Amino acid sequence: MYWEKLSHDEIANQIDNALGENISYKTKNILGVPGSYLDEEQFYDDAPFIEDSPFLKTLVANPNHIGCHTLTESAEPFFKGTQKIEKDLIKLCAEEILGGKKNAQDGYVASGGTEANIQAIWIYRNYYMKEYGAASKEIAVVYSEDSHYSMPKGANLLNISSIILSVDNSTRMIIQEDLEQKITTAKNKGIKYFIVIMNMSTTMFGSVDDIDRITSYFNKNNLQHKIHVDGAFGGFIYPFTNENSLYSFKNNNINSFTLDGHKMLQSPYGTGIFIIRKGYMQYALTEEANYVQGKDYTICGSRSGANAISVWMILKAHGSDGLKVKMKSLADKTKSLGKKLEKLGVEFYHNPFINILTIKGKYISPQLAKKYFLVPDSHEENPSWYKIVVMSHVKQGVLDSFIIDLKSAI
Ligand SMILES: Cc1ncc(COP(=O)(O)O)c(C=O)c1O
């Protein structure tokens, strides 16, 4: 993994050039588009700070990134300059962060992790229907009980069933016997096609599924399956902290990924990223998108080009080395919190490559949870677990105060 760090001026220049390649609502006679720059009363573009902010400049110019730009030359040719930046962003994520081959992946900037996960499920459902004549009732999404709720949401929207796998209470790993038994039962009920979700970190625990064990079960049993990785939380930390990660396009079992800029990269909301091996995006083609020049392959339709710009800018401003340092230090801070908890005899779950640490509920009083905004696994009485997410704003002093308070409470 390597890409260069760019200076603020270099970044600003590249964005200016991209905006220059777009057709401006300001200077061209654009008559046929139901869009414009942002409202001039509220978002006047002569505010002095806008000139220095490539992101705000793009936001005000309001380019539409509808469609999938890695697939078709330009879905909406008016904005081809900033769409090229999005293409560059997908390439960087797919090839540098996720180890994909050159120009072998498609993708787009989605509204968030939820949309990117549902996009994957949608594509594979359509793939099974088109290529194998599968009926909805023969297709199921398979995921662990710790998976994000976008999986049941997607299965519900797409009218396919869910197979939810139990995990071990302390390791949070999928229980092999449960997997085997539930898949056998599903096969007996007529399920033939599986969409398997592997977590490159779950929301509550930061646990990373044992992908080799799960994929070898599906491969050995000759089950029709496609593997999507939900890296909405871990996608911008795990590949930087774990050099031996099995979660990359070098792993032939994996077909697609969700990443989320608006978690670990601190980009604005609206920066989910969906990436898939070439040859699959087509299964999400909406033929009827006739007014869009390059057609549409995404769930969301119109979306702001400023979102793609923001993620691209963050990645370029840090460079791969800068992000490695940043993500490793968050993981290290989490590890040292774990060491202090161990000394106190407090039970917790922590994957060493991830910045989430989840403490057993019995050690945390409601007052302590309230004081530090700890998030429970359930908002009913007596949660089993509370999590701490060591994000950039989490300072060592606050972690130290938490440990002091916890020590006096137990
Ligand atoms: C593992 C995981 N997947 C998906 C999502 C959904 O992301 P979003 O809220 O961006 O739709 C989240 C959000 O917390 C997550 O942690």
Does residue 203 have its Cβ closer than 6 Å to ligand 1?
A: yes
Give the closest residue (by CA) to ligand 1 atom 5: 113
Give the closest residue (by CA) to ligand 1 atom 16: 203
Give the Å distance between the CA of 214 and the centre of ligand 1.
Answer: 22
Does residue 76 have its Cβ closer than 6 Å to ligand 1?
A: no
Provide the angle, in degrees to the nearest 10, between the axes of the packed helices 305-344 and 8-21: 140
Does residue 234 have its Cβ closer than 6 Å to ligand 1?
A: no
Give the closest residue (by CA) to ligand 1 atom 14: 203
The answer to whether 77-318 and 324-409 have equal CATH topology is: no
Give the closest residue (by CA) to ligand 1 atom 8: 113
d(CA 210, CA 72): 35
Does residue 260 have its Cβ closer than 6 Å to ligand 1?
A: yes
- Provide block-wise average pLDDT over 10 residues at a time, the chain (410 residues): 96 97 90 89 87 94 95 76 97 98 98 98 98 98 98 98 98 98 98 98 98 98 98 98 97 98 97 98 88 86 97 98 98 98 98 98 96 93 95 97 96
Please state, as a whole number, how many other Cβ atoms lie within 10 Å of the Cβ of residue 66: 25
Q: Which amino acid is it at 11?
A: I
Give the Å distance between the CA of 67 and the centre of ligand 1.
Answer: 22
Specify whether the CB–CB gap between 19 and 82 falls below 8 A: yes
Give the Å distance between the CA of 203 and the centre of ligand 1.
Answer: 7
DSSP string, 355-383: SEEEEEGGG--HHHHHHTTPEES-SSSS-
Q: Where are the domains of the chain?
A: 77-318, 324-409
Does residue 228 have its Cβ closer than 6 Å to ligand 1?
A: no
DSSP string, 157-208: HTT-EEEEE-B-TTT-PBPHHHHHHHHHHHHHTT--EEEEEEEBS-TTT--B
Does residue 272 have its Cβ closer than 6 Å to ligand 1?
A: yes
Give the Å distance between the CA of 121 and the centre of ligand 1.
Answer: 15
What would be the CATH architecture of the domain defined by 77-318? Answer: 3-Layer(aba) Sandwich (3.40)
To which residue do tokens 């110019």 refer? 61
**∠ at Cα 395 (393, 400), nearest 5°?**
145
Give the Å distance between the CA of 33 and the centre of ligand 1.
Answer: 33
Q: How many CA atoms lie within 13 A of 287 on its CB side?
A: 1
| Paired residues of 275 in beta bridges | 107, 257
Displacement of CA 269 from its chain's centroid (Å): 12
Does residue 389 have its Cβ closer than 6 Å to ligand 1?
A: no
**The total number of residues written for the chain in this structure:** 410
Q: What is the pLDDT of residue 28?
A: 86
Task: Please list, in sequence order, all residues whose beta carbon lies within 8 angstroms of the beta carbon of residue 398, skipping any fewer than 6 positions away.
Answer: 372
50: tokens are: 């806008």
d(CA 112, CA 311): 13
Give the closest residue (by CA) to ligand 1 atom 4: 113
Please state, as a whole number, how many other Cβ atoms lie within 10 Å of the Cβ of residue 29: 6
Does residue 230 have its Cβ closer than 6 Å to ligand 1?
A: yes
Q: Give the CATH superfamily of 324-409.
A: Aspartate Aminotransferase, domain 1 (3.90.1150.10)
Buried b (16+ CB within 10 A) or exposed e, 397-410: eebeebbeebeeee
DSSP letter (8 states) at residue 87: H
* Helix %, strand %, coil % of the chain (to 5): 45, 15, 40
**∠ at Cα 360 (359, 366), nearest 5°?**
90
Give the Å distance between the CA of 324 and the centre of ligand 1.
Answer: 22
DSSP letter (8 states) at residue 407: H
Specify whether the CB–CB gap between 266 and 314 falls below 8 A: yes
Q: What is the pLDDT of residue 48?
A: 85
Give the Å distance between the CA of 41 and the centre of ligand 1.
Answer: 35
Does residue 113 have its Cβ closer than 6 Å to ligand 1?
A: yes
Q: What is the pLDDT of residue 295?
A: 84
Please state, as a whole number, how many other Cβ atoms lie within 10 Å of the Cβ of residue 396: 11
Task: Please list, in sequence order, all residues whose beta carbon lies within 8 angstroms of the beta carbon of residue 60, skipping any fewer than 6 positions away.
Answer: 37, 38, 43, 45, 50
Buried b (16+ CB within 10 A) or exposed e, 325-337: ebbeebbebbeeb
From 282, 340, 352, 238, select the one nearest 106 (Cα to Cα). Answer: 282
Give the Å distance between the CA of 300 and the centre of ligand 1.
Answer: 16
Does residue 144 have its Cβ closer than 6 Å to ligand 1?
A: no
Q: What is the pLDDT of residue 236?
A: 98
Specify whether the CB–CB gap between 199 and 235 falls below 8 A: no
